[in-house]
Chains A and B, each alone.
Chain A
């Protein structure tokens, strides 16, 4: 968990002091260059820089209403913003990372540009031989054309003197702003387009475009590819494609075309960078006579997070998070069962116990890999998923509920699965419990997903923004942390010997553990009810019934081959029928409307409106399947003291419910460097002010203090600008 609170506070205090002693003020933003049209500054994510580090800066342009500046390809007229750097020897600046442009219509022409407030982020590299104690002077000359209908070329000189220190210091506020800008940059497309000639028109094939994409617009980097103002008719369906009109100055410098594709997916705006292969006929028609002057490729965005967390820190966080996850209520019953298994074996063979421990770890690692792989793969395909995403699918939630019931029945001795499925029955005593030990590891991870532990959020948020190899290693560290206590137990004969000898107490305890399993099943069915309403409950109970019946059938048809075959086929039919019924009835989203209750639903626009009205806003990112979230709601959020404080300070409480999939919420989480819920944000009562991130485990005092800070009632921070 990042120490936002403390640093924020210190920075706020420093800023407050700075008001009285300007010389002491931390300057991570240059003096502004202003005109009646533009207020421009250079913003740095660092207060102090370290030798050899790369850090993020952004040119910020606040544009007056109706005025715009231009994208890389400005469209029918205009000129993109340019930055020339004058940096210390050995330092270097990366390229501007361009946000997705908007089509700005000036009938009958179209420009590609930006309105409102614009951040143009890029990276600066500090030379490795920079001397701590000296100053890193950042100087830039920027030019831009700002147009309404008339156009004014403007320019500005920006300078920022950043102290060089052994370790760099982040300007949390500036960094959060730049990170948010980077998070909303167009993401690389998971597919390649194809540009071909179709009877004189250009057709851009978009295989892999998400179904449901609408309102498409392609912004090519080259300004000699298409008529910018022309309509771009879209053919949806199996072979999605955009029809474009070739530019009168048509030119193809390379057989590869790059650009940004904007569209809405389920009503939500999305932008991706797209590379398309031009077919050879087009190349022949448009082969350039001169080299292309613009960069051919839209840069792949910089990672969102990672400025705060280095890989090592993320790995350490993940390991700690995994360890703490063992203490979360979701996992405890499973771990007890494992420990019980050890108790059984402890007095027999040490090597067997070790083997069991390692197999358990194997199950944990493999399951984590599968989950992480799914998160990464779905993310690469453009789906916004996070930790616990599988619980956003009602049929899967119901399937887990069924597994819980079956385990409970098994623990009670209602039937014996033997060593084949979970190994929890006979497996406790059997020598052949290898698969069982492995499966216990799998089960432990599966039941752990609704829980997040402290440290996990930041680590996973870091992981999902990194290349797959890095992401997998962070998840591995999490898995190792999670498996460690059980493995340690299996390798510590001394500890094991402390356990009482096997006996009747073990049978009783085993039976007792059936009840946490049933409790978990009840909770999962409740989650299904939240997701799919009464139909979801019906589906879940039918699934439980069918599963019980199927298991019983298999049990009573033991004996001859024919009997077994008959029993298995019948059981399979029952399970398939129940599965079909579940999928038919458990439809995500069926019940979310009803759930919102008296608490307002979250949207970024609502936050902006409330902030503009001078109201502090609390946003609770939660999900019905997130136990940590529900625990927080019980111990802190629903407490009368908190409600009173919120009412007194005029705090508006918004809830972002992620029980069902919601890409807007997933995006908002990603912007805060998180992969899952819970996330608690407190927006100060000032327009466009950045939110404070609260810890993952809330306390009443913390909440009230945060509410006071957000409302600006705390004397110490009231002087913030």
Chain B
């Protein structure tokens, strides 16, 4: 595995995926403690972003879909926006990822994505558009929201739910434990992430068919 570059590794996975979609999905998904899968995606400004450019920084990936009731729970209450702002203060790069393909619910173009950010007073460092679901496949994103934290060395430090209340009821936010805050705080303190992998909850990520 070490002799492979990440790109060929992912290309290999994609090829394997053509033959055995389910198995490849299950085994090819990102793994805590391993290098985070590389990605290359166009952001809402039209710029191509990749993981390497954030080397040395902690990166949070947030899979999102503005119409999903679970996502709305976190945005309507400003919980998500506050988290984004707090993370920015910590010097953490927050990237929202939208993987719904064209024609599927949750698909947005760049203009609409920016509009949503303004409307909701959200504060991500960037919004990545992944309409072919390539990035979602590489990470094995299942739900919106689905959170991933990559440490400054490029290792995946956390993957899973945003908090410990797997419901769309707004009342659940009170007293919820933020796995993201906990993981980032532990990383900052140089401690191992105590709950590094949790079960994500939310709406299903709409995947583009493999082509």
Spell out A's residues near B (CB within 8 Å). Answer: 76-79, 106-109, 111, 143, 145, 147, 149-153, 223-224, 227, 229-231, 245, 247-250, 289-290
Contacts and interface: CB of A to CB of B under 8 A. Distances in A.
B86 interface: no
A109 B142 contact: yes
A229 B137 CA distance: 13
Interface string B93-116: 000000000001110000000000
Contacts of B70: 151
Contacts of A107: 21, 207, 209
A151 B168 CA distance: 10
B198 A106 contact: no
B22 A247 contact: no
Nearest to A152: B69
Interface stretch (B26-34, B54-62, B76-84): B26-34
6 shortest interchain CB distances as A-B pairs: A230-B26, A227-B26, A77-B204, A249-B197, A153-B168, A108-B25
B69 A231 contact: no
A224 B22 contact: no
A289 B177 CA distance: 15
B167 interface: yes
Contacts of A229: 22, 25-26
B160 interface: yes
A231 B25 CA distance: 10
A108 B21 contact: yes
Contacts of B142: 76-77, 109
B142 to A, nearest CB: 4
B194 A250 contact: no
A231 B22 contact: yes
A566 to B, nearest CB: 68
Contacts of A109: 25, 142, 204-205, 207
A151 B69 contact: yes
Interface in B165-192: 166-169
Contact of A250 (B67, B197, B201): B197
Contacts of B31: 248
B199 A224 contact: yes
A533 to B, nearest CB: 46
Given A108-B25, A149-B105, A289 B195 contact: yes
Nearest to B25: A108
A246 to B, nearest CB: 9
A290 B195 contact: yes
Given A77-B143, A77-B202, A249-B160, 13 more contacts: A76-B143, A78-B204, A79-B201, A109-B207, A143-B169, A150-B68, A150-B203, A153-B169, A230-B22, A231-B20, A231-B22, A248-B31, A248-B32
Contact of B204 (A151, A231, A250, A290): A151
B138 to A, nearest CB: 12
How large, as a class, is the contact surface on chain B?
35 or more
B140 A248 contact: yes
A230 to B, nearest CB: 4
Contacts of B195: 289-290
Nearest to B133: A108
Contact of B203 (A147, A247, A250): A147
Contacts of B169: 143, 153
A123 B204 CA distance: 33
A151 B104 CA distance: 13
B141 to A, nearest CB: 9
24 contacts: A76-B204, A77-B203, A78-B203, A79-B166, A107-B21, A109-B25, A149-B104, A149-B204, A151-B68, A151-B69, A151-B203, A153-B69, A224-B198, A229-B22, A229-B25, A230-B22, A230-B23, A231-B23, A245-B27, A248-B30, A248-B140, A249-B197, A289-B195, A290-B195
B61 to A, nearest CB: 15
A65 to B, nearest CB: 17
A550 B43 CA distance: 92
Interface of B: 20-23, 25-27, 29-32, 67-70, 104-106, 137, 140, 142-143, 159-160, 166-169, 194-195, 197-207, 209
Nearest to B70: A151
Contacts of A289: 194-195
Nearest to B106: A150
Given A79-B168, A79-B201, A249-B198, A150 B105 contact: yes
A111 B195 CA distance: 24
Of the candidates A111, A151, A223, the one having the most CB atoms from chain B within 10 angstroms of its own CB is: A151
Task: Pick the most buried of B22, B31, B70: most chain A CB atoms within 10 A of its CB.
Answer: B22
Contacts of A249: 159-160, 197-199
A310 B68 CA distance: 49
Contacts of A149: 104-105, 204, 206
A227 B168 CA distance: 23
Contacts of B194: 289
B195 to A, nearest CB: 6
Contacts of A151: 68-70, 168, 203-204
A220 to B, nearest CB: 12
A197 to B, nearest CB: 16
A245 B21 CA distance: 14
Nearest to B161: A249
Contacts of A145: 69, 168
A543 B137 CA distance: 68
Nearest to A111: B204
A248 B159 contact: yes
A289 B160 CA distance: 15
A289 B143 CA distance: 23
Contacts of A250: 197
Contacts of B202: 77
B186 to A, nearest CB: 13
Contacts of B25: 108-109, 227, 229-230
A109 B203 CA distance: 11
Contacts of B21: 107-108
